[in-house]
Amino acid sequence: MRMTETVKQLLIINIIFYIGSNYIGDVAYQLFSLYYPENHSFKFWQPLTSMFMHAPVYGNGSSAGIMHIVFNMFALVSFGSALEHFWGAKKFIFFYISCGLGAALLHVGFNYFEYHQALAALQEANIPSNAIAAIIKDGKYSNDILQKIPLSILEQLYFSFNGTSLGASGAIYGLLTAFAFMFPMAELGIMFIPIPIKAKYFVPGLIAVDLFLGFKGSSLFGSGGTGIAHFAHVGGALTGFLMMWYWKKNSFNKNRWN
């Protein structure tokens, strides 16, 4: 299916944001990435702008940033064009933005839980407020604190407060959910799995993996963190599911009669 007009415009906006943010550097990422709301770097526009940002191209030649935007834009064109073809531009863009905002909301909500959980653990251990402030601000702590609190709690406090999220993945997961809703028998291929999988199995399986990794806090292939906002993915998918369920439930209201 050819690329539809709104998808094309979203693709162009994402590419402009990507090139511009890589050219400008950290200033752009600090302004447009999504920060935790209690962080002084948080701006009210970030839940929207963060969905057009993608990981930068690193000076060490890493392709991580390029792959981030390539995979997201490939999915946008592949699934978004099919949905816009059936829905039209207005309904599609409303759905896309809503899923992106839903992703940001769940991500921030989980960060809020993690931050205050870690903060309560330090307070219960009678860690002085100035020492807690140093951990939050600069990630600095004394060895004495590690006698009372595990390092994982200190990292949880610091990264939940100072970490940022960016990318179109939350909105993309919403599109995937909508696609599975509308075309459950469509067969989808995934890298490393040579057998096509029906959308009604593929999408729930993908979301289940994200949910597992989000709670586990680590990569499927290692013991370290993934660096991926798994709950943003789940939030986008959940928003997409709720919207599709509501639209399907009310799709015949205008045709009913008493």
Residue 229 has pLDDT above 80, yes or no: no
Q: How confident is the model at residue 201 (pLDDT cuts 50, 70, 90)?
A: confident
Sign of CA dihedral 214, 220, 224, 228: negative
Determine the average pLDDT of the residues in 195-203.
Answer: 83
Q: Which helix (H) or strand (E) holds 190?
A: strand 187-190
pTM for this prediction? 0.87
Q: Assign domain 5-253 to its CATH architecture.
A: Up-down Bundle (1.20)
Beta strands 187-190; 193-198: pairing state: antiparallel
Q: How confident is the model at residue 20 (pLDDT cuts 50, 70, 90)?
A: very high
Determine the average pLDDT of the residues in 43-67.
Answer: 79
Determine the average pLDDT of the residues in 75-82.
Answer: 93
Distances (CA, A) of 211 to 81, 115, 179, 219, 223: 27, 19, 20, 12, 17
